[in-house]
Amino acid sequence: MNRIRHEGPLIIGGGLAGLSAALEAAPRKVLVITPAPLLQACSSAWAQGGVAAALSAEDDPALHAADTAAAGAGLVDPEVARALTGDGRETVEWLASLGAPFDRDADGGFSVSLEAAHSKARVARVGGDGAGRAILSALVASVRAATHIEVWENGRLRALVQDSTGRVRGAVIERDGRLTEVLAPAVVLATGGA
């Protein structure tokens, strides 16, 4: 088995979470492992609807968090809901800056719709129900253009490498029938449901 030491984060997963983490890790060198070519390696491309965020002047993250907790019928961790909804606007704006083609209103703002258990219109859509593929395509283009990111397509996680204290220090990756142990200072598991 080959062994390499990677100087930056090792990210397992090529969907929205993994690629977002890779882009945000700049300027650190990142190695992304994905089981298939980008855009084909995850369920992110199948996501429909849009991205919920408090984007209008009539809305705010605290109200969004409250709606999320209410819809969760006691299963939502309020602290996590606050953290996720608190960054919603910044996240949508960041995705748009990368080229995600969110639908816009007549004034150029994000077009939002009222859906499900939301008390305010806050779902930013992309081409109706094409959000997942469109947003992922924008992230893939940004990842391919980023000089700090290397992508190993057709790589499969076979094992995590732990030190004597149990801390994860890397992963064993299978590519083209060969195993490579990749040691890294940080390992991000972003394998979702694919």
- Would you say residue 10 lies in a domain? yes
Work out whether strand 112-113 and strand 178-183 pair parallel, antiparallel, or are unpaired: unpaired
Of 143, 129, 126, which is closest to residue 190 (Cα–Cα)? Answer: 143
Identify the bridge partners of residue 50 per DSSP, sorted by sequence position. 125
Are residue 96 and residue 123 in the same domain, yes or no? yes
Are residue 67 and residue 124 in the same domain, yes or no? yes
What average pLDDT does this structure show over 63-82?
94
Q: Quick one: pLDDT at residue 58? A: 92
Q: Quick one: pLDDT at residue 51? A: 94
Cα angle, residue 133 at apex, residues 131 and 137 outer, rounded to 5°: 115
**pLDDT tens-digit map of 132-158:** 999 999 999 999 999 999 999 999 999
pLDDT exceeds cutoff 70 at 190: yes
Q: Quick one: pLDDT at residue 193? A: 63
Are residue 109 and residue 163 in the same domain, yes or no? no
Q: Quick one: pLDDT at residue 97? A: 98
Are residue 125 and residue 147 in the same domain, yes or no? no
Are residue 154 and residue 173 in the same domain, yes or no? yes
Are residue 106 and residue 55 in the same domain, yes or no? yes
- Would you say residue 7 lies in a domain? yes
**pLDDT tens-digit map of 50-68:** 999 999 999 999 999 999 9
Predicted TM-score (pTM) of the model is 0.91
Are residue 93 and residue 39 in the same domain, yes or no? no
| CATH number, residue 156 | 3.50.50.60
Lowest mean pLDDT among 86-90, 91-95, 98-102, 126-130: 126-130
Listed residues 129, 156, 172: the one ending a domain: 129
Are residue 108 and residue 53 in the same domain, yes or no? yes
Q: Where are the beta strands (DSSP E) in 88-177?
A: 112-113, 123-125, 149-153, 155-162, 168-175
Are residue 23 and residue 77 in the same domain, yes or no? no
Higher per-residue pLDDT: 181 or 43: 181
Are residue 105 and residue 162 in the same domain, yes or no? no
- Would you say residue 138 lies in a domain? no
- Would you say residue 136 lies in a domain? no
Residues 6+ apart with CB under 8 A from 87: none
pLDDT band per the 50, 70, 90 thresholds, residue 128: confident
Of 41, 84, 33, which is closest to residue 189 (Cα–Cα)? Answer: 33
What average pLDDT does this structure show over 89-117?
95
- Would you say residue 106 lies in a domain? yes
Question: How high is the mean pLDDT of the chain?
Answer: 94
Listed residues 82, 102, 129: the one ending a domain: 129
Are residue 68 and residue 118 in the same domain, yes or no? yes
Listed residues 84, 100, 129: the one ending a domain: 129
Of 180, 184, 136, which is closest to residue 156 (Cα–Cα)? Answer: 180
> How many structural domains is the chain composed of?
2
Of 11, 16, 22, which is closest to residue 144 (Cα–Cα)? Answer: 22
Task: In whole angstroms, give the CA distance from residue 185 to residue 18.
Answer: 16
Helices (H), 25-147: 61-71, 78-86, 88-97, 131-145
Are residue 56 and residue 109 in the same domain, yes or no? yes
Q: In this structure, is the dihedral angle defined by the CA atoms of residues 94, 99, 103 and 105, taken in order, positive or negative?
A: positive
Domain that holds residue 93: 49-129
- Would you say residue 137 lies in a domain? no
